[in-house]
Structure formats: structure tokens, C-alpha cells
Structure 1
Amino acid sequence: MDIKEFCLAHGFDMSKCAVASGGGDFGMMELKTSPIEFLTLAEDDFDRGGLAALVNATTNVKRAIVGQLDQLLISFGYPSLRWNVPKKIERLRALGLLAPRLLRKVVDMRNILEHEYATPDLKEVEEALDIASLFVMSASAMFIPFDDVLEFSLPDPAAPENLVNRITAGLN
């Protein structure tokens, strides 16, 4: 018996139901070094202070962002490891996921460091850390496993006792 048959058999009027999806889960592909680990390294670098700390924090912030982009894309089946950052961001946007333009600012800062040998100042690195933290943490939070249920419920919980007013179905 499927859910619809069960509802009909118990006099459950599905046209008057509210449906809530607890969903399922989405397991993100594990990377050898996670975006959060790169972010932690960047924070540690920044806290040490000095020129080496700014340089290392900048590169680790970029790694955290690009690692998060790749983790999301690989999890959706895209071979993104060799893609450039603009393509990765564009693909995430096409999927309807968060990929703010601010990410490009951080990547550009790191590219200036690597290709023009210009060290970012303390304020720029601090801002980059904040951007990376917000992106990595929000992207990770979107895919924390959630309930594996689908719930149908009638808007009137005061229905007669012999009438079913809520059905919860496990999706596994």
C-alpha cells in the first residue's frame, strides 16, 4: 500500500493537507584537507601576526573558499578540480546555491599576492577571513543531514478521534 492508498483508506482528505518535507540527507564528498581545516589554518596564521602570517593566511583563506566550492561541486557530480574559480562560482549559481561575488574579491587578493608579489594589508586579510568563514560555514550548514521524513497533516488538529489527522512516512 502506498501513501496515497493509505490516506484514502483512512478517510484522509489530501486536498486539505499541509505537507512538510524533512527531506533526506546529502552527504558531501570528503576532501583530504577540508575547507574548515584550511579556514582554521588561516585563522591560526592570522593570529600569529607578521608578514609570514599575512601571506599564509591569504593563501589558506583562498584554499578554504576554493575547497568549499569544489566540495559542493564534486558532491553534485561535477569534475571541478581543474576548473577556474569563475567557472566554479557560475556553476554553483546555476545550481541555485550561495556563491557571493565577494568570493572573487578574496581569490583576486590571493592572485595579486602570488602573481604581483604584493602583500595584502592586515585589514584586507581580516575581511577575507570573515568572507571565507561565512561562506564555508553557511555552505556546510546547508548540507547537514536532516530528517528522513515526509509529514502530511490536517490543518484542524481537533478532528474526530477516529479520523487520522497526521501521517509521517520515513523515506528510508
Structure 2
Amino acid sequence: MDIRIWQGDITTLALDAIVNAANSTLLGGGGVDGAIHRAAGPELLAHCRTLGGCPTGEARITPGFRLPARFVIHTVGPVWRGGDHGEPGLLACCYRNSLALADAQGLASIAFPAISCGVYGYPLEAAVRIAVTELRRPRPAGSTLQRALLVAFSEDMARLYRDALA
């Protein structure tokens, strides 16, 4: 799978799927979650209300509604509590489960924000290592995924991604 870095607004990407760093209610919030909900329109919130939430580390898929992306894959990253409460494994599961949903839908392209790196406080360097490790894992036989974008919210984050991919 081709992995690239893109700095900018994930809600503008016309890909098969964008990943939402959601909270466990899936009903919107701050940061990228709020931006995705605003850009997708009220239909996204209405659809998410039918899903019954999402536990940390898991993922759910919805239509993109008013977004240029066809689908939104919502995943709930861990809140950083020092690293001794399963946070690395839960964050890895966010990427793994999001990729598995994309494969199950036959998608070719996906974009990930920096999951758990905003208000959830995950240390950026550690989160970047997990993201790159998971995206570099061999895809299962029959995988349709061809391209993944790591979406950076800042030049500093883009640099961390570049260094990790080098």
C-alpha cells in the first residue's frame, strides 16, 4: 500500500474513506470529529445515533453524506493515561480495525487523522510510530486498499510522519 503524508483539512479529501477520530458516543465533539460532523451535515449525526456508540479501539463505518469522501470510518482512540493502561494496543487496534472495515467495503483509498493526538493527549512521536507500523503491515490476501494518507494538522506533525516513513 502506498502511504503518503498530506497536510490540511481531512474533510476536503475526495477519497473512498476518511477516518474520524471519534469519541465513544459517535455523536460529534471537538477537533477533527466536530469538523467531520459539520462538513458531512446533519445526516451523519442522525445515522450515528442508530449505531449505539463505539468502544475504544473499535471502528464503525457510515456514508460520507455531504463530504467528498464516500465513507467515514469512525474509530475511538485511547485517552493517554501514561502508557500503562493499554493505550498502545488500543491505538494500534484503531488503525487495524479501520483498515479491516475499508477492506470489507472494497475501498482503495483511506485517510487517517492523528488519532488520539488532540485532546486525548497521546504523545505525538509514539502515536506516529504506531500509525506507520500499522499501515506498513502486510495487507491480507484480496485487500483492495492501494493508498493511505496520513493527514497532518501542522507542519510539525507532517515532519514527524516524514521522519517515521523515511
| TM-score band w.r.t. shorter chain | under 0.3
How high is the TM-score relative to the length of structure 1?
A: 0.25
Higher RCO (CA-CA < 8 Å; seq separation 6+): 1
More strand by share: 2
More helix by share: 1
How high is the TM-score relative to the length of structure 2?
A: 0.26
- Structure (1 or 2) with the larger CA radius of gyration: 1
